[in-house]
Amino acid sequence: MKSVIIFDGVCNFCNSSVNFIMKRDPEAKFLFTANQNEAGQKILKEHNVDVLNISTFFLYENGKIYSKSTAALRVARQMSFPWNLLYGFIIIPAFIRDIIYDFIAKNRYNWFGKKESCRLPKPEERARFLS
């Protein structure tokens, strides 16, 4: 099964990140779903994630769920060069990386805004999105 990125579907920064990843994932290694969608909530619930209090994105890979900076770096590892080099930051302990991640996550709506509803994939993107 392909890896699944579970993102905040109303967050402009998160949606831009999905677009960024899709452009740099020519082999379509990743599928996407919003954490507000049934598919995203199902995966999160299966891994005991509180779906009512989500302020991060997740990577579901090989039966495991990753969050925050660890998820972001594991995604970067599978992207094309030079973005895959970002995975080198994995050597920094997660509690330090996540301080920066949490600061961005806390301010993402103020800095980038949010939508009234979840992102709708373009017709050519639909195969990459779980509904």
pLDDT in tens, 102-113: 999 889 888 988
* CA gap 31, 34 in Å, rounded: 11
How many other CB atoms are there within 10 angstroms of residue 114's CB atom?
15
* CA gap 37, 115 in Å, rounded: 15
Strands (DSSP E) found in 35-129? 58-61, 64-67
Residues 3-51: tens digit of each pLDDT: 999 998 888 888 889 999 998 888 899 999 988 888 988 999 999 988 7
Q: Which candidate, 34, 56, 54, places its Cα nearest to that of 102?
A: 56
Residue 119 pLDDT grade (very low, low, confident, very high; cuts 50, 70, 90): low
How many other CB atoms are there within 10 angstroms of residue 111's CB atom?
10
Q: Is the pLDDT of residue 96 over 90?
A: yes
Residue 1 pLDDT grade (very low, low, confident, very high; cuts 50, 70, 90): low
pTM of the model: 0.90
